[in-house]
Amino acid sequence: MTATYELSHLRMLEAEAVHIFREVAATFERPVLLFSGGKDSVVMLHVAARAFWPAPLPFPVLHVDTGHNFDEVVEFRDRTVRRLGVRLVVARVQDDIDAGRVVEETGPKASRNRLQTTTLLRAIETHGFDAVFGGARRDEEKARAKERVFSFRDSFGQWDPRNQRPELWNLYNGRHRRGEHIRVFPLSNWTELDIWQYIRDERIELPPLYYAHRRPVFERDGMLLAHTRFVTLAEGERPFDALVRFRTVGDATCTGCVESTAATPDEVVAEIASTRITERGATRADDRISEAGMEDRKKEGYF
């Protein structure tokens, strides 16, 4: 036999993710896929659609909307779900603020990031979702590095990192009682570079924010933040124009950008391959709260 039966590492990662999507679709009643328009969720949705070809995606997508969105991202979100013919469920943080379930932070550094947890859990409960796909990757952050692909959440939506189910081979244990649910992370083993190589190879469209563009920004805590209608400048903070791109896209008030000239997927791949700073370290003010910032939020039910 002369043929070599080898898969490239991207096809291997894709196969693993496809297996996970099919496993969930076959064994859960009401799965949902978290879709923010960020690159990881775009890749996740792309792989999911491929997993069920030629049938349509057998579950809806959910956007937890902080109300502080980049306009380009919302436009991209709507266009993408239309193109794929998937059902979009939007859960609004504003609704929880209006109903008094959460209280909005005040001051110049106010962010709705943490409030999303309440909105997300409310949506899960209202719709009875029992499996929630998230685009989190283990290379992103050290609390995520220890999380399972199938991550159990109790009836309060909480994660118990000390009591996780062992996960062996490709046998995933999704058993749960009514009211509990499983967060599922099909891209667990992908790195930022894998995501970009896949975007390049598959020619996946992203919101334009991910590529170098000129926009007004200001500096805060050593990071560049976009100057949008949602932020209040503190004393001494001055907006200026810069050529930037976003490495992650989340709530507009706490997602930083980096100076960059990378305007195509190829250029971004090259930039990432040579960068020496992690994507969250460079761009996420929310992760800088404390060393255990992510772990604490995840325990409460965060993404």
CB of 141 to other proteins, least distance (A): 7
Would you put residue 157 in left (φ > 0), alpha (ψ -120 to 50) or beta? left
- Classified as helix, coil or strand, 179 is coil
* CA gap 33, 182 in Å, rounded: 12
Q: How far from each other are the two terminal CA atoms of the chain, in whole angstroms?
A: 47
Residue whose CB is less far from other proteins, 32 or 223: 223
Question: Considering only residues 129-148, where is the footprint of other proteins by CB under 8 A?
Answer: 138-139, 141-146
Report how far apart, in Å, the C-alpha atoms of 61 and of each of 68, 90, 129, 197, 283 are. Answer: 19, 8, 11, 24, 26
Binding mask 23-42 toward other proteins (x if CB under 8 A, else -) reads: x-xx----------------
Single residue of 22, 30, 109, 213 touching other proteins by CB under 8 A: 22
167 binds other proteins (CB under 8 A): yes
Report how far apart, in Å, the C-alpha atoms of 24 and of each of 27, 59, 89, 169, 231 are. Answer: 5, 10, 19, 16, 39
Single residue of 29, 54, 235, 236 touching other proteins by CB under 8 A: 54
Single residue of 99, 107, 177, 235 touching other proteins by CB under 8 A: 177
Instruction: Give the pair of three-digit tokens for residue 3.
Output: 């043929």
Instruction: Give the pair of three-digit tokens for residue 237.
Output: 């903070």
* Dmax (CA) of the chain: 71
**What are the backbone dihedrals phi and psi of residue 169, each rounded to the nearest 5 degrees, phi first?**
45, -140
CB of 269 to other proteins, least distance (A): 11
164 binds other proteins (CB under 8 A): yes
Only one residue has tokens 């991209």, namely 76
Residue whose CB is less far from other proteins, 69 or 256: 256
CB of 31 to other proteins, least distance (A): 12
Single residue of 171, 214, 221, 229 touching other proteins by CB under 8 A: 171
103 binds other proteins (CB under 8 A): no
Q: Are 253 and 68 in contact (CB under 8 A)?
A: yes
- Classified as helix, coil or strand, 41 is helix
234 binds other proteins (CB under 8 A): no
Residues 6+ apart with CB under 8 A from 35: 41, 42, 44, 45, 61, 62, 63, 77, 80, 81, 88
99 binds other proteins (CB under 8 A): no
**What are the backbone dihedrals phi and psi of residue 43, each rounded to the nearest 5 degrees, phi first?**
-65, -40
Single residue of 85, 107, 169, 235 touching other proteins by CB under 8 A: 169
Number of residues binding to other proteins, judged by CB under 8 A: 66
* CA gap 138, 124 in Å, rounded: 23
Q: Of 92-100, 102-110, 163-171, 213-221, which segment contacts other proteins by CB under 8 A?
A: 163-171
List the beta strands (DSSP E) in the chain. Answer: 31-34, 61-65, 88-92, 131-133, 150-153, 181-184, 213-220, 223-226, 240-246, 256-259
Binding mask 248-287 toward other proteins (x if CB under 8 A, else -) reads: ---------------------------xxxx--xx-----
CB of 237 to other proteins, least distance (A): 23
Q: Of 66-74, 175-183, 208-216, 244-252, which segment contacts other proteins by CB under 8 A?
A: 175-183
222 binds other proteins (CB under 8 A): no
List contacts with other proteins (CB under 8 A): 3-16, 18-19, 22-23, 25-26, 47, 49-55, 138-139, 141-146, 152, 161-162, 164-171, 173, 175-177, 188-189, 191, 193-194, 197, 275-278, 281-282, 291-292, 295
